[in-house]
Amino acid sequence: FTLTSGDGSPDLTGATVRVTNIATTADMNLTNGVLTATNSGQTVTANTATDGWSSSTIVIPQENVTGARLIITLKAGAGKFEWNFSSPTTFQPGKNHLYDITVSKTGITVSSSGIAIWAGTSDAPTTGTAQRAYKVGDYYPDPDNPQTAEGIVFQITDQRGVHGKIVSLDEKTEVSWGKLQKDEKNADVAGIRDE
């Protein structure tokens, strides 16, 4: 959905977009990839950008949907507007259904701007690249090659070992490691001397 502020220039920031009376669950035939809706009459809240200018949701492919409705609610009680999809409506698999919505102070105008192939569904499958799993103490980016190390992993922030923090191994010159003219041994800092 693409939203535009129309007559009266309503603020679209924080708008909520919902699609009602549609299926939200389905069974998938793994041999042919066909989805079959297993419920109906449900509501989906779209993922709307913070500025309110665009909104999107994934809808299960379904045919002969009757009573589907688009509901837009503006923030702080500034308005709630409803629009009925044509009945019956079909949401095609692998397609991106595009709608332009103009929101005014008194209502909405909705027009279909087309149905496009969903990005990527026409491409042939490719082999992905596995993400390397790291553990604390590994060289980064290649745990097995200290010669190419840019850093050393000192913290893992997920269970898979693909996110975390490293200490850089960049060489620095003319950098002080303590207070000038102070022996850091007295502060229990091992290995740092100002000589």
Paired tokens of 51:
């500025």
- What three-state secondary structure class fits 185? helix
* Domain ranges, ordered by start, for the chain: 2-117, 139-180
User: What's the rounded Cα separation, in Å, for the pair 28 and 33?
Assistant: 6
> Over the stretch 72-129, which tens digit does the pLDDT of each residue have?
999 878 899 999 999 899 998 888 898 999 999 899 999 988 888 776 555 566 666 6
Query: Given this model, what pLDDT does residue 20 score?
Result: 95
Paired tokens of 104:
């005014």
Among the listed residues 96, 102, 97, 122, the one whose alpha carbon sits nearest the alpha carbon of residue 53:
102
Fold of 2-117: Immunoglobulin-like (2.60.40)
What pTM does this model have? 0.57
Residue where the block lists tokens 């923030």: 75
**Spans of the chain below 50 pLDDT:** none
Query: Given this model, what pLDDT does residue 14 score?
Result: 87
Which amino acid is it at 69?
Answer: R
